[in-house]
Amino acid sequence: MARGHRSHIKRERNAVKDTRPSAKLSYARIPVQKACFVLDAIRGKSYTEAKGILMYNPRYASSVILKLLESAAANAENNNGLNKAGLYIAECYASQGPIMKRIQPRAQGRAYRIEKRMSHITLILDEKN
């Protein structure tokens, strides 16, 4: 059983800040499922290895995630003073964003709905010990 009131427990949990360098891309025009194919390929890899995988991956999501990886590495270098060579991908995930709904006209006056899905992609780096 937790001790204290719910608001106190939340306050304690939120007081601990994550100091790892990260980058987040909101409203990426990539469905979560397609982004996760690329994210699964680089999870846990070193920065240089992940960059090589993303550069030669033919999927569209890999070019977007490559920019995000370079942004996270730049954050690590400028804000935390870390070396790019010692970084690895600690966490990477995509969560569901809003869905744009469009209509495609079909035969006999019918209309089909087209859902253009978006995702929020987060990449967290860490230094190897």
Q: How far apart, in whole angstroms, are the C-alpha atoms of residue 33 and residue 28?
A: 13
Q: Taking 80 as the threshold, does the pLDDT of residue 117 lie above it? A: yes
pTM, to two decimals: 0.84
CATH topology of domain 20-127: Ribosomal Protein L22; Chain A (3.90.470)
Helix (H, G, I), strand (E, B) or coil at 32: helix
C-alpha 84: how far from its chain's center?
19
Q: Which of 22, 36, 44 is nearest to 88 (CA)?
A: 44
Amino acid at 60: Y
Structure confidence by residue, pLDDT tens digits, 35-85:
999 999 999 999 999 999 999 999 999 999 999 999 999 999 999 889 999
Determine the pLDDT at residue 19. 86
CA distances from 109 to 100, 105, 115 (A): 22, 7, 19
Q: Which of 93, 89, 87, 76 is nearest to 42 (CA)?
A: 89
pLDDT band (50, 70, 90) for residue 3: confident
Q: Taking 90 as the threshold, does the pLDDT of residue 106 lie above it? A: yes
Determine the pLDDT at residue 99. 97
Mean pLDDT of 88-97: 96
Domain residue ranges in the chain:
20-127
Q: How far apart, in whole angstroms, are the C-alpha atoms of residue 81 and residue 17?
A: 18
With beta carbons less than 8 A apart as the criterion, state whether 49 and 87 touch: no
Determine the pLDDT at residue 28. 96
Structure confidence by residue, pLDDT tens digits, 43-57:
999 999 999 999 999
Q: Which residues pair with 96 in a beta bridge?
A: 119
